[in-house]
Amino acid sequence: MGFAALLACTGLLTGLAGCKGSDIGMSSKPRSPAEVIQVTPEDGAKDVEIGDLIEVRVPSGRLERVTMRRVEDAQPVEVPGHLSEDGTSWRPDAGKVQLAAKYTVDVVALDGHGNRQARHTRFTTHVPAERFIGYFRPENRSVVGTGMIVTFQFSRPITNRAAVERGITVTSKPPVEVVGHWFGKDRLDFRPREYWRPGTEVTVAMRLRDVQAGPEMYGIQRKTVTFTIGRSQTSLVDAAAHSMVVRRDGKVLATLPVTAGSEHTATYNGKMVISEMLEVTRMNGATVGFTDADGKGEYDIKDVPHAIRLTDSGTFMHGNYWATPDTFGSRNVSHGCVGLRDVKGGSDRTPAGWFFDRALIGDVVEVVNSKDKTVAPHNGLSGWNLAWPAWKAGSALA
């Protein structure tokens, strides 16, 4: 049977990541998640055959929640699985793992002493020789915000970028010009000149089967997906004023007090697009380079509520229950994230819960007056920071 996920967030693509204020005390050293929770294949494994052993196991204690997802879409597809009678192991159901796919495994377990641990791993299954595919977002038939950027991450470096770009078309009703932009040899994003209009229906047609992307390398996908643009909601974070103004269809919906990145770990400026939303997740400073003299993470919070990913490198907007209430609206104390007041376990009655309930993947959050640089356009779905001529210049069909 399947289990609901407690998804642990990533620092770059899907590893643990995040930020917090500087006022968390460290408890005694617990057993590491890898000691408590054993996942096969190992984290980061590539070229996994679908017949290989895929299993989650705890040497002692029991599994509370296990979720395995195929993550080629904005809202990943859960893989059904079954738990052993004694609650110590889990495996996906037979025939449910696909070739040429990326997977995440998220686990919450109790060790033999009753201590709860969470672990997140990822792996990629075998891509047939001389073939490539594109992992894409957003998900088919999803409803997204007006800032959604269609993004493809290819399984192999692309040499013939023009042929591949020509094999993907993004059209809309009502029609607007949509142009692709390459970030390196394996990523291709598409966006219009301006944010999408609410109600727009977007169709992405992938005609990549047998398209030659390089010497003796051909595509295998032929697929069409559609998504719809929902209401217009944008949020403007003023790091200097410690506030965020949320606008819905051009009108101010709310002004919320926030805490942004501190002077030494400032939040990126610029436009960032919500790409992932997690009810609760674990954030560990070591995964994004925030370590103490012993190499341990400056923080390790196992239950960060209402986490909303803004960049691949670990910038989140999230609930914060550990800072004092007077922090919000008056001081910037985080490691680069934008914090909203919350309670342990999360609540829809707090500013963080209120915002989470009204946000969509594809909404734009813009940060101004921070002491950091503007976010790079390839860091998450941040392509709106490129002017239209610069965006079009990144097309292989320009």
Residue 13, Cα to own-chain centre: how many angstroms? Answer: 7
Q: What angle do CA 80, 14, 243 make, to 5 degrees?
A: 115
Q: Which residues pair with 218 in a beta bridge?
A: 131, 212
Query: Is 337 a catalytic site residue?
Result: yes
Query: Is 19 a catalytic site residue?
Result: no
Sign of CA dihedral 78, 83, 87, 88: negative
List the catalytic residue out of 120, 318, 335, 378: 318
Residue 202: which of 179, 221, 229, 177 has the closest Cα? Answer: 229
The three-state DSSP-derived secondary structure of 82-147 is EECCCCCEEEECCCCCCCCCEEEEEEEEECCCCCEEEEEEEEEECCCCCEECEEEECCCCEEECCC
Q: What angle do CA 384, 228, 248 make, to 5 degrees?
A: 65
**Phi, psi for residue 393 in degrees, rounded to 5:** -65, -20
List the catalytic residue out of 9, 120, 337, 378: 337
**Phi, psi for residue 356 in degrees, rounded to 5:** -60, -40
Residues 109, 61: contact at Cβ < 8 Å? Answer: yes
Residue labelled with tokens 């970030």: 183
State the virtual CA torsion across 96, 149, 154, 175 in degrees, nearest 10.
100
Residue 66: which of 10, 33, 105, 124 has the closest Cα? Answer: 105
**DSSP helix/strand/coil, 41:** coil
Cα 308 to Cα 246: distance, rounded to the nearest angstrom: 15
Q: What is the DSSP letter of 65?
A: E
Cα 75 to Cα 79: distance, rounded to the nearest angstrom: 13
Active site residues: 318, 337
